[in-house]
A and B are shown apart, each in its own frame.
Chain A
Amino acid sequence: MVTINYASREISCKIVFYGPGLSGKTTNLQYVHKKVPTQTRGELISLATDTDRTLFFDFLPINLGTIQGFSTRFQLYTVPGQVYYNATRKLVLRGVDGLVFVGDSQLSKMDENVESLNNLMENLKEYGYKLEELPLVIQYNKRDLENVASLEELEKIINTYGCPYFEAVAVKGVGVFDTLKMICKLVMAKIQKQAGVAPEPTVERQVAVPAVESGLSSGLSPLSQERKKLEPTEVVKYPDVDRKSFEQENEGKREKEPVFSSSKEFGEKTEVLREDKPEGFQTTAQSSQIPEIKPLQTSDAKVTKSKHTESKAFETNVSETTLRGAKSLEMDTKKKAEEVKKIWPEFSGLKVIRDTPRAQAKKRKKRFFLFRWFKKSKKS
């Protein structure tokens, strides 16, 4: 059945070429594969025997491009025509949206045509489909051969439902595109009918899916997926809340927050640290979202805990701690130098030994990973 993926904005339909053995189903696909521009089609996959008889199916994906924001794809399948491959033939019919019956026009093949058509109906019945309800186009192939049945005869024998039909010479490409175009149109009309004209329920979400990314099959690139995953969802949810007004509102009501309680000067320290953060070291989106980190206001009034304050407090804490870890080494060296100076005021020879650029880079990398680890542990 038609798959509509509103997330990646894709519609996929399955069209199956059915017909007796050696009637030219695979040839149809080969011609399409040859003629259609490379960017609109995928590879033709053929599961055939050594003698070029289709064993399981041929498969050709065709991308129609974006229609009304939906990337529309047709997947063309053929079935093995031989009678004894019925088991696999039936499998291909699963989830079919449109059918092309490729008949052999030769008089000698008329029985096979009828048998194949009956077989098709039988197989469809097992899936609960009805031939008269499915879009069906009939193609009378091999019209260039001698000893072919007349169109009237063929219509009478094969086309009992009065479906659209085309005469074709698949090897030369005559009528191949006409057939394909017609079945595609029929399937499209069916989709439209099924989907109705109701307004799109996910209008807001459309914005969330960038057009570029939706073009990449159904999945975004793993990297962007990861990025998406890492994006702070909670903060984005409340971007408009002004911290000052929020604090004014809740003034006197706020409780002493446990995360901050012992780190009043910690906030000030972070302010300093933040100014000269090392390059390559990124602060989170969260921390840039938070207007500023103030020394905590404590008051003895009553408790109001909102999810908002809690999550913000938590995030702030994380970024602080990360920064502290990153800077702790240098702080230690400075402290030591001061201590030595106290004991021996004349001493001025102590130099802060800088790392080589390579070691610095190594440290930066380490910090970065540490930071990522924090983020991850916070998520889980």
Chain B
Amino acid sequence: MSNENYVIYEEELEHINRILMKLLKGAEAKCVLLVDKDGYLVTRQGFTHSLDTTALAALLAGSFASTKEIARLVGEPEFSVLFHQGKKDHIHISLVGERTILVVIFDDRTTIGMVRLYAKEMGAELLTILSGVNKTKKTAPKGLDSQFTASAESRLDDLFHE
């Protein structure tokens, strides 16, 4: 796995969002999340206001990671698609590239087939962008101000006092 930082610029994110929107509309899903395997939320689209997406991202990444271990024990390299079925809402999880997970939450207005189809199609599109992200990040100069640590420290002192 890559040990480098993950840097996303707005251009790429907009592109990704556009694809997610396409997926959302095409498959008539409720919402779509793009989650990093480390548990960070990269971006989201759709009706996510009622959801705690930060926690969701962490749990989904955990769940995916544990399935990967299960796969390994069974002798598979990785299960690339997961599906959780509920009474009303269902979740379709698929792997995009090496480190991102595409999560589609949908209900009975659409079918699993549609979601799968679109997730596969858009997953391929996302992959081209994400591989681009990995390339650009090496060359892109990333900068934080030298004052960053100092202001962060003072914020920490404010926040964590007994």
Within 8 A of A (CB), among B100-159: 140-149, 151-153, 155-157, 159
When C-beta atoms are compared, the residue in chain A nearest to B160 turns out to be A177
User: How far is A188 from B148 in the complex, measured between Cα atoms in Å?
Assistant: 8
Given contacts A2-B5, A185-B153, A198-B141, contact A43 B10 (CB under 8 A): no
Please name all residues of chain A whose beta carbon is closer than 8 Å to the beta carbon of B149 when the two chains form the complex. Answer: 185, 188-189, 192
Q: Are B36 and A185 neighbours in the complex by a CB distance under 8 Å?
A: no
> Is A219 a contact partner of B160 (Cβ separation < 8 A)?
no
Q: Which of B4, B47, B55, B157 contacts A181 (CB 8 A)?
A: B157
B62, A91: Cβ atoms under 8 Å?
A: yes
| A209 part of interface (Cβ distance < 8 Å) | yes
Determine which residue in B3, B4, B8, B46 has the highest number of CB atoms from chain A within 10 A of its CB, and name it: B8
User: Judging by beta carbons under 8 Å apart, are A218 and B59 in contact?
Assistant: no
CB pair B65–A91 under 8 Å, yes or no, is: yes
In the complex, the answer to whether A36 meets B142 with C-beta atoms within 8 Å is no
Known: A65-B155, A91-B65, A95-B38. A59 touches B55 (CB 8 A): yes
**Out of B21, B40, B54, which one reaches A42, CB within 8 Å?**
B54
Which B residues are in CB contact (< 8 Å) with A67?
A: 148, 151-152, 155
The closest CB in chain B to the CB of A127 belongs to B1
- The answer to whether B10 touches A91 (Cβ under 8 A) is no
Chain A, range 1-24, C-beta contacts under 8 Å to B: 1-8, 12, 14
The binding surface of chain B is classed by DSSP as mixed
Asked if A205 is at the interface (CB within 8 A of a chain B CB), the reply is yes
Indicate with 1 or 0, residue by residue over B8-44, a CB within 8 angstroms of chain A CB atoms: 1111111001100100000000000000111111111
- B55 and A64 contact, CB distance less than 8 A: no
7 closest Cβ pairs, A-B complex: A95-B38, A7-B10, A7-B13, A198-B143, A219-B44, A91-B65, A177-B160
CA distance A173 to B54 in the complex (A): 26
B142 touches A128 (CB 8 A): no
Q: Tell which of A2, A64, A68, A225 touches B159, judged by Cβ atoms closer than 8 Å.
A: A64
Within the complex, the shortest CB–CB distance from B78 to chain A, in Å, comes to 13
A140 to B158 alpha-carbon distance, docked (Å): 24
Min C-beta distance of B73 to chain A, whole Å: 9
Could you jot down 24 A-B contacts, CB within 8 Å?
A: A1-B5, A3-B6, A3-B38, A7-B12, A36-B160, A42-B52, A47-B62, A61-B55, A91-B65, A91-B66, A94-B37, A95-B36, A95-B39, A181-B157, A185-B153, A185-B156, A195-B148, A196-B143, A198-B143, A201-B9, A201-B143, A205-B9, A218-B41, A222-B48
Q: Which of A35, A75, A184, A192 contacts B58 (CB 8 A)?
A: A75
| A residues in contact (CB < 8 Å) with B | 1-8, 12, 14, 35-37, 40, 42-43, 45, 47, 56-57, 59, 61, 64-65, 67-68, 70, 72-73, 75, 77, 87-88, 91-92, 94-95, 127-129, 173, 177, 180-181, 184-185, 188-189, 191-192, 194-202, 205, 208-209, 217-219, 221-222, 225-226, 229
The answer for the CA separation of A67 and B18 in the assembled complex, in Å, is 29
In the complex, the answer to whether B37 meets A95 with C-beta atoms within 8 Å is yes
Known A43-B52, A218-B44; contact A92-B141, beta-carbon cutoff 8 A:
no
- Which residues between 60 and 106 of chain B lie within 8 Å of chain A, taking CB atoms? 62, 65-66, 69
Q: How far is the CB of B8 from chain A (nearest CB, A)?
A: 5
Nearest residue (CB) in A for B8 is: A5
Closest to B70 in A: A87
Q: Which residues of B contact A185 (CB under 8 A)?
A: 149, 152-153, 156
In this complex, which of A68, A72, A92, A222 has the most chain B Cβ atoms within 10 angstroms of its Cβ?
A222
Inter-subunit contact A87/B144 (CB<8 Å): no
Complex CA distance for A219 and B45, rounded to whole angstroms: 7
In the bound assembly, the distance between CA atoms of A47 and B1 in angstroms comes to: 26
Shortest Cβ gap from A194 to chain B (Å):
6
Let me know if A209 and B5 touch, CB within 8 A.
no
Shortest B63–chain A CB gap in Å is 9
Q: How far is the CA of A111 from the CA of B52 in the complex (A)?
A: 40
For residue A189, which residues in chain B have a CB less than 8 angstroms away from its CB? Answer: 149
Which one of B9, B40, B144, B161 lies within 8 Å of A202 (CB-CB)? B9
